[in-house]
Chains A and B, each alone.
Chain A
Amino acid sequence: MTAAAVGHAEGVNGLLSAGAGNLAEHRALLGPLPSLGPRVLLSMVGDSGLTGRGGGSFPTARKLTLVAGSGRAVLVANGAEGEPTSSKDRVLLLEAPHLVLDGLELAARAAGARRCVLVAPADLLDGVLAPAVAERRARVRLVAAPEGYVTGQETAVVAAADGRPALPFQPVQPIWRHGVAGRPTAVLNVETLAHIGLIARFGVAWFRSCGVPDDPGTRLLTISGAVRSQGVWEAPGGTPLGEVVQAAGGPSEPLQALLIGGYHGGWVPWDDSTARLPLTRAALEPRGAAPGAGAVVALAASSCGLQAAAGVVAYLAGESSGQCGPCVNGLPALARHLDALARGRERVDAVAELERLAGMVDGRGACRHPDGTARFVRSTLRTFRQEVALHRDGRCSGRLPSARPDRSMPWPPS
């Protein structure tokens, strides 16, 4: 994993360059935490335009404001990162644990929160976070996030923080009103918190000196697939997709599409107009994609998009937490039909059937897993329409039929 230097005008350059191994080095690099009051902190976060980096892009100040004032809020730092195409939270927690803890402390102050919880994979807790929390004598409860795609979903993180299995649930009241221990709860991604740690020190103007007005500051990106240098990179908000690919060393072979926003995201065909497209919500929306948590996968022109997508949907079907009927039944059905299409063994009109099934799982679960899977399937059918025609003709732009598993997508360790 590597970090790129990015362009803040002066001072510390970005999140990854603000990393330090221990508290003494961290303080030497960044200085002490500024002693700002809750109201100043809230307005700084608001003026900075910071949005959630966990995928939802919700305005951070609004999330904090929802729970502030209750006087009993709980602040949860979410470092669970269940998305296999993203490793930026892991890299950040390894390289800059104290910056994340700074942000947690400041966000808790801004929200008037009495309790802080940090949810992250067990190996990071043991190796990095428990020692960091001990060094600061911080009152932060550490909770291990089990592996799994849906364990990073907001309600699953609340469940884990409450000592229950880390499974999504359908809250009767919104968690900002009734979350951990029945208290108003704000769940913030660890990268979002790290940004707060820098905004409080260097100010709103410094944060906004980088990025674009509708996506200020930097964001961490995980770039994988057919690029020369896979890894985590920090880039200014609104960086054009062509530069995103260049940041990872450029294509390792000719590309046909980018998958943006992880396995719940969308494909964007690779061409000159895509290369100029900024990685922002507004620019990607008309193309059926969103920055999400900043995961970008480059698909080589020599790969079959349908085979790659079939592997993803099979994986997503296996990652259902098994609680909601439409997801338990619908996702395997989606995986089956996409697999038939990918292998050129369609018995019924698989495209029509996939569209119908996507409509049957969309919005019908306790979490966003069925919705995200439906979005990915629809995006696949839209993007690889020509490939569908080829397959129906007994041909394939990759190799068909493929006996061996497709390796064009990054996979979680088995």
Chain B
Amino acid sequence: MAAELTIDWTRCEARGVCLDLLPGLLRPDDWGYPMAREPGRIVVTATDLPDADVAVRECPRMALRLARPS
């Protein structure tokens, strides 16, 4: 089941933990901030879900949220 990853831009400081954990989903922009590889929403598939959970937990700025469809 897919979930959506959202970034709180007021918190993110481009520390890069999410980029290491989700290279297939995210890439750094010109300044190191995470950017979706596909334009638009960051959709996390079942395969990436465990890594996305770790990213949410390990983000030093607590800038990530994972919304699962209810």
Residues on A lying within 8 angstroms of B by beta carbon are: 169-170, 172, 323-327, 329-330, 333, 357, 359-360, 363-366
Contacts and interface: CB of A to CB of B under 8 A. Distances in A.
B25 interface: no
Chain B residues touching A, range: 10 to 19
B30 A325 contact: no
B29 A360 contact: yes
Interface of B: 7-10, 12-14, 29-33, 35, 39-40, 65
A363 B7 CA distance: 11
Contacts of A366: 8-10
A172 B8 CA distance: 9
Given A325-B14, A359-B39, A364 B9 contact: yes
Contacts of A329: 30-31, 33
Contacts of B14: 325
Given A325-B14, A359-B39, A333 B9 contact: no
Nearest to A323: B10
26 contacts: A169-B10, A170-B8, A170-B10, A324-B9, A324-B10, A324-B12, A325-B13, A325-B14, A326-B9, A326-B29, A326-B31, A326-B33, A327-B9, A329-B30, A329-B31, A329-B33, A330-B30, A330-B31, A333-B30, A359-B39, A360-B29, A363-B40, A364-B33, A364-B35, A366-B8, A366-B10
B6 to A, nearest CB: 8
Most chain B beta carbons < 10 A, residue from A324, A326, A329, A357: A326
Nearest to B9: A324
A355 to B, nearest CB: 13
A203 B50 CA distance: 57
Contacts of B7: 364
A323 B61 CA distance: 13
A337 to B, nearest CB: 12
Contacts of B33: 325-326, 329, 364
Contact of B12 (A169, A172, A325, A363): A325
Nearest to B65: A172
A21 B33 CA distance: 52
A365 B7 CA distance: 9
B45 to A, nearest CB: 21
B60 to A, nearest CB: 15
A48 B33 CA distance: 45
Nearest to A356: B30
B52 to A, nearest CB: 18
Contacts of A170: 8-10
Contacts of A330: 30-31
A333 B8 CA distance: 22
Contact of B31 (A323, A325, A363): A325
B26 to A, nearest CB: 12
A7 to B, nearest CB: 44
A323 B9 contact: yes
B47 to A, nearest CB: 25
A323 B8 CA distance: 10
A350 to B, nearest CB: 15
A360 B35 CA distance: 8
B8 to A, nearest CB: 5
A333 B29 CA distance: 13
A329 B12 CA distance: 13
A364 B35 CA distance: 9
A359 B39 CA distance: 9
A359 B14 CA distance: 18
A365 B40 CA distance: 13
